[in-house]
């Protein structure tokens, strides 16, 4: 079974779970509140919906439930990139990388790292 693409809101929750590890609603809520104002029950509801979708798992053994991302950060990123490749780049990984480079957010060190990856892949 393949998971649905997370929405923007869902992704912001997943990012918290990846950084904190398995967390309670309260913990997620506290982190999200740093960025924007939103109610506790909003986060709770979203996590409930995400549980139904299979995006997160829920540990209900304690009264205070603990949520965890169902997929690793890398797995999700991989899916999102492939999705974007298909939807906006006609499958061309090259074009996508060109735009990523053009965004100018890569440091010198990252550029070297990418070169290393290319060497490895090209052989």
Q: List residues near its own copies by CB under 8 A.
A: 8, 11-12, 15, 74, 76-78, 80-82, 84-85, 87-103, 105-106, 108, 110-115, 117-118, 121-122
Closest CA to 45 of 60, 61, 62, 67: 67
Q: Does 79 interact with DNA (rule: CB under 7 A)?
A: no
Residue 54 interacts with which of DNA, its own copies, none, CB < 5 to 8 Å by class? none
Quickly tell me which residue has 């029950």 as its tokens. Answer: 41
Which C-beta is closer to DNA: that of 26 or that of 112?
Answer: 26
Q: Which residues pair with 59 in a beta bridge?
A: 66
Give yes or no for a contact between 103 and 36, defined as CB atoms under 8 angstroms apart: no
């Amino acid at each position: 079974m393949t998971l649905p693409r997370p929405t923007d809101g869902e992704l912001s929750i997943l990012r918290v779970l990846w950084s904190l590890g398995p967390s309670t609603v309260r913990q997620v809520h506290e982190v999200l509140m740093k960025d924007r104002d939103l109610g506790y029950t909003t986060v709770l509801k979203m996590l409930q919906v995400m549980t139904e979708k299979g995006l997160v798992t829920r540990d209900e053994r304690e009264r205070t439930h603990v949520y965890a991302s169902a997929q690793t950060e890398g797995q999700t990123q991989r899916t999102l990139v492939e999705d974007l490749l298909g939807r906006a780049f006609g499958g061309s990984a090259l074009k996508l990388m060109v735009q990523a480079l053009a965004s100018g957010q890569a440091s010198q060190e990252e550029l070297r790292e990418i070169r290393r990856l290319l060497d490895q892949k090209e052989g």
